[in-house]
Structure 1
Amino acid sequence: MKKLAALPLLCLLSSVAFSAPPLEKKELYKVGFAQSENNNPWRIAETNSFKDVAKECGWQLIVSDAASSASKQVSDVDSMIAQGVDVIFLPPREEKPLVPAVKKAKMRGIPVFLVDRKVDERIVKPGVDYVTFLGSDFVKQGERAAEQLAKLSGGKGKVIQLEGTTGATSSRDHIIGFNRVIDTYPEMTIVASQSGDYARDRGRKVMETLLQAHPDVSLVWAHNDEMALGAIRAIEAAGLVPGKDIIIGGKDGTRDGLQAILDGKLAFIVESTPKFGPLACKTMQRYANGEKIPTWIKTEDRLFDASNAAEHIADAF
């Protein structure tokens, strides 16, 4: 009889263990946003997007900056847990180091929403350890960039890929999608693929080195606009003409990137919006209302090129 009496409690504990923590409906929430870094236009725009919606969403917002350090980001999440936040929005810098932070938040009953990057899904499960992922289909972005380069080059050329942060799910998925499509074009070859850590100056330095090793490269795709702009500087310093001698594609949709399209130096940009604030607010409200949230809420990405860059530059970040 004791075993039968304990069964409902065991079932309840099992249900809690295999679902993300619930969120009570309140007028004011203490919300943590653990940013990975604020050293480029995309990240700054993302942080500002959360700040812009805080008041109307009823958030007492706590923002941290991990300064490009995964260990610092883990500490930031720990600090938010200690401060008793109701919710954490987390754009993880790298997929593996942030696993313990997500697990700890769940253990403390704090729902986590991943933003723009994921953690290792072999260990941490959406809908179980965290509520959902808000972000783009990075594999599709890579595929789209490769198709654009193939279209613009007639399916021929030697390619350099400037990768994002090593260990980030965005970088990994971009590589998967991009390489998969390039491999279908027999006369296109990726001669080098190296991380520029999403930074403009780092992208410039990497491109300078790769140009020396591969002076006959004709195509470049960078995992963000900042590295693409760095690559343009390196190409110009080598006495070559961006957009003519070497076709370059970017990803994000920054104002500087769109201006480079208008200047004829950048061929295209695959959009990746940083403006998650409104979507984060709406999704959190739905969750507090008891709605079932999909484990991935995809953002829709446009393609910018010479045909529409002028139309969108005023709204760019």
Structure 2
Amino acid sequence: MGQRAKRKLRLISSVLAVLVFLSGCGQDFHKEGEQDDVISKDDSLTVVGVSQIGSESVWRTANTASIQNTFSKENGYFLIFDNARQKQENQIKALRSFISQQVDYIVFSPIVEDGWDTVLQEAKDAGIPVILMDRKVKVKDESLYTAWVGSDFAEEGQNAGRWLAGHLKEEGRAGEEINIVVLQGTNGSTSVIGRTEGFDSVAAQHDNWNILEQADADFTTAKGREEMKKMLHKYEDIDVVVSQNDDMTFGALEAIGEAGQSTGTDGGIILISFDATKSALEKVEQGIINVDIECNPEQGAYIEEVIRVLESGGQAEKEYFVSERVFTKKNVASVIGDRSY
């Protein structure tokens, strides 16, 4: 019996044991038909354990959909999916569960970069390849994970900075003092680190750009509104808001509107957003958001490509970057109709 067949036998045995235990406790633990899928599962299916950060944003929901659509039974996969609900301890628990079930591959989007050495060493010792999705980890030994698939966050930040420099030049404001506030996402996450470093590297080239504050708004609409409201009270003159995802941008727009101010192309506060979800791109088209830097959530196909390379006995690259664009009112109309997220 091959290693994969052994893993699948252990997986089925583990799941069946849990099913027996839970049924004895009277728990309604699976969706209709789920138990039959487990029992009748074909050994030819590749078992993939996925730990997702949570469902904190429209982008994350689209990212999850991409994974679930790619790793379907019809495509030859048996997917075990876990929602960590924004807690690293939940992700570590999920990864250890995947290891104990001897899945074929582990895929996860790390909430923060630090604190993964031990559990990733456990996965390596078990011979299970780990593919990072969206965000990265800081580990002493990079062989603890096989590959990473995601966005070039530093490039995204630089794109935002370059766009702002060009916009100010077009508006005849290149030499003005420009006051900037930044709504950041989850502290310590790869996207925050990259976007911040990228934007700051461009800002450092402009002595007249003043970054007044960078506030943690946790990638959520509610926190974006809260932190924007605080900064509007704290600073009399804000020229630019850099919001590191669309959900925080929506919260910022609520706070700015409540303060009696405007944004966008009508001469109000310059609003820079990230992600490029459909609802945000509609606001770009309306001139409410000046620019939206795309962060592509549809990463399932890229991850599957890594698995195909490994399945064929090949050597995967360490990094795979997804394709992304920058959207303004000039070019956004061509993509809104086809946007799936």
| Short-chain TM bin | 0.7 to 0.9
2:195 aligned with 1:174:
yes
Alpha-carbon shift at residue 39 of structure 1 (Å): 2.6
2:151 aligned with 1:136:
yes
Moved more, 99-108 or 220-229: 99-108
Give me the whole-angstrom Cα distance separating, in 2, the residues matched to 1:103 and 1:268: 42
Alpha-carbon shift at residue 255 of structure 1 (Å): 1.1
Contact 1:91–1:115 (Cα < 8 Å) also in 2: yes
2:85 aligned with 1:85:
no
Letter of the 1:178 partner, please give it. F
Give the SS at the match of 2:212: strand
2:179 aligned with 1:158:
yes
Give me the whole-angstrom Cα distance separating, in 1, the residues matched to 2:115 and 2:154: 22
Aligned twin of 1:19? none
Contact 1:70–1:98 (Cα < 8 Å) also in 2: no
Q: 1:228 aligns with which of 231, 238, 249?
A: 249
Q: 2:233 aligns with which of 201, 212, 224?
A: 212
Aligned twin of 2:336? 313
Alpha-carbon shift at residue 313 of structure 1 (Å): 1.4
Contact 1:96–1:120 (Cα < 8 Å) also in 2: yes
Moved more, 149-158 or 41-50: 149-158
Aligned twin of 1:197? 218
Give the gaps of 5 or more residues in structure 1. 1-25
Give me the whole-angstrom Cα distance separating, in 2, the residues matched to 1:73 and 1:214: 39
Letter of the 2:63 partner, please give it. E
Give me the whole-angstrom Cα distance separating, in 1, the residues matched to 2:87 and 2:117: 14
Alpha-carbon shift at residue 42 of structure 1 (Å): 0.9
Contact 1:74–1:97 (Cα < 8 Å) also in 2: no
Q: 1:38 aligns with which of 55, 69, 76?
A: 55
Contact 1:69–1:93 (Cα < 8 Å) also in 2: yes
Give the SS at the match of 1:80: helix
Deviations along 1:198-237, whole A, 9 cap, x unmatched?
1111111101101111120110111111111211111111
Which structure 2 residues correspond to residues 1-317 of structure 1 after superposition, within 5 A?
A: 27-55=44-72, 56-121=74-139, 123-125=140-142, 128-154=143-169, 155=174, 156=176, 157-243=178-264, 244-316=267-339, 317=341
Give the SS at the match of 1:118: coil
Contact 2:299–2:322 (Cα < 8 Å) also in 1: no
Letter of the 1:255 partner, please give it. K
- TM-score relative to the length of structure 2: 0.82
Give the SS at the match of 2:233: helix
Alpha-carbon shift at residue 100 of structure 1 (Å): 2.7
Q: What percent of counterpart residues are identical?
A: 30
Contact 2:203–2:209 (Cα < 8 Å) also in 1: yes
Give the SS at the match of 2:144: coil
Give the SS at the match of 2:71: helix
Give me the whole-angstrom Cα distance separating, in 1, the residues matched to 2:55 and 2:193: 21
- Cα–Cα, structure 1 residues 99 and 231, in superposed 2: closer, same or farther, change >3 Å? farther
Alpha-carbon shift at residue 131 of structure 1 (Å): 0.8
Give me the whole-angstrom Cα distance separating, in 2, the residues matched to 1:287 and 1:271: 29
Alpha-carbon shift at residue 194 of structure 1 (Å): 1.1
Give the gaps of 5 or more residues in structure 2. 1-42
Give me the whole-angstrom Cα distance separating, in 1, the residues matched to 2:190 and 2:121: 18
Give me the whole-angstrom Cα distance separating, in 2, the residues matched to 1:210 and 1:315: 36
Alpha-carbon shift at residue 296 of structure 1 (Å): 0.7
| RMSD value, Cα | 1.4
Contact 2:109–2:133 (Cα < 8 Å) also in 1: yes
Aligned residues: 289
Contact 1:90–1:114 (Cα < 8 Å) also in 2: yes
Contact 1:88–1:112 (Cα < 8 Å) also in 2: yes
Alpha-carbon shift at residue 97 of structure 1 (Å): 2.8
Give the SS at the match of 2:122: helix
Give me the whole-angstrom Cα distance separating, in 2, the residues matched to 1:168 and 1:208: 24
- Cα–Cα, structure 1 residues 314 and 102, in superposed 2: closer, same or farther, change >3 Å? farther
Give me the whole-angstrom Cα distance separating, in 2, the residues matched to 1:124 and 1:44: 31
Contact 1:71–1:97 (Cα < 8 Å) also in 2: no
Give me the whole-angstrom Cα distance separating, in 2, the residues matched to 1:153 and 1:220: 14
Alpha-carbon shift at residue 81 of structure 1 (Å): 1.4
Alpha-carbon shift at residue 95 of structure 1 (Å): 0.6
Letter of the 2:162 partner, please give it. E
Give me the whole-angstrom Cα distance separating, in 2, the residues matched to 1:215 and 1:196: 20
Give me the whole-angstrom Cα distance separating, in 2, the residues matched to 1:67 and 1:95: 16
Give me the whole-angstrom Cα distance separating, in 2, the residues matched to 1:275 and 1:213: 38
Give the SS at the match of 1:315: coil
Contact 1:95–1:167 (Cα < 8 Å) also in 2: yes
